[in-house]
Amino acid sequence: MLFADIIRQWERELRCVPGGGSSASMIRPLFNSSANRARSIHWLLQQGYVRSASIIRCAPKPTTCHRGGVQVQAPLIRILGPIEISDGAHPGPLRGIKPCALLTALLLRPGSVVSLENLMDALWAGEPPRSAVANLRSYAHLLRRRLPVATPLISYQGGYELRIAPDAVDHLVFERLADRGRSAVTDDPPRAIELLNAALALWSSDHAAPGVERYGMLDGPLRTLDAERIRATEDLADAWLGVGQPHSALRTAGQVLAAEPLRIRSWLLVLNAHHHLGEPGRVTDAFESARTVFRRELGTEPDACLGRLHRQLLAG
């Protein structure tokens, strides 16, 4: 549906309302300026004059890019790093800790109404200020000015809902690619490498939504995203072993251990990589390094599975 079609639809509906004829005559000037179009469309959608499907077709054409050999639609909103919003071609950072926290909270529950109570818990530690609801309204207004036309932010009496396509936000694209890559590690490791590289390329930081305080409903989901990045990296190391590239597996698992030295799976991958390289001495060195780390950090030995693997690899 084109802008002219939207205008005509609105005009027809207004003329069916008593006194609506004079309002209909005021529609076209609103759309004569391209700067007013996105704002006017958001208002039309919120008032129920136009269905969301009509709005989506008026959005900028999504751009695509190749990540790790996989073609994916360039996400319009990014939270796997500094928070950015794009109009389809020109990403820009979102300023302000509270607007970033509000956007993150809404993105973690896309297509669902997030209650004002949950949003206040996500934005303020402890008791929110008396002006919390008014502040939320201001932050929502700011977001509406930045969000793509195809991503309307809908207000309700008790909360807000962000309607967004699954391909338009990076953490949903990451989860889908990581799941597909994980499923392919055993049966099709080359494809797993492509998918997992594409998933990990979406990250530009070690943590999701850096700078956003993890209050309330933000804490669990953001921690889960961080953990899924680590897990996908380990899956990638496993896939490198599957294609006979132990050096790449060693490098990839080493990246995990540099940040998370207590990851048993990464230590298992390191031992296996040295075994594939024909380095029994380094297998033992890695095992002893793991024991040292666990004793220092936890005062205990690593999981028994690491010792069993060490013995199996040395036994040939």
CA separation (Å) from 199 to 174, 231, 236?
5, 11, 10
Query: In terms of Cα–Cα distance, which of 254, 255, 237 is closest to 246?
Result: 237
Query: In terms of Cα–Cα distance, which of 106, 117, 116 is closest to 153?
Result: 106
List, for residues 218-275, the tens digit of each pLDDT value: 999 999 999 999 999 999 999 999 999 999 999 999 999 999 999 999 999 999 999 9
pLDDT score recorded for residue 91: 67
Look up the pTM and report it.
0.79
**Regions in the chain scoring below 70 on pLDDT:** 1-69, 71-73, 87-91
Give all domains of the chain, ordered by start, each with its CATH number: 3-56 (no CATH), 64-168 (1.10.10.10), 170-314 (1.25.40.10)
pLDDT score recorded for residue 70: 73
Question: What letter does residue 202 receive in the DSSP assignment?
Answer: T
Alpha-carbon distance of 68 to 36, in angstroms, equals 38
Cβ atoms within 10 Å of 81's Cβ, excluding its own: 16
pLDDT score recorded for residue 10: 45
Alpha-carbon distance of 222 to 212, in angstroms, equals 10
Query: In terms of Cα–Cα distance, which of 3, 56, 62, 1 is closest to 29?
Result: 3
Alpha-carbon distance of 249 to 95, in angstroms, equals 38
Q: Is 176 exposed, middle or buried (0-12, 13-18, 19+ CB in 10 A)?
A: middle
pLDDT score recorded for residue 74: 75
pLDDT score recorded for residue 253: 98
Core vs surface per residue 201-213: b (16+ CB within 10 A) or e: bbbeeebbbeebb
**How remote is the C-alpha of 307 from its chain's centroid?**
37
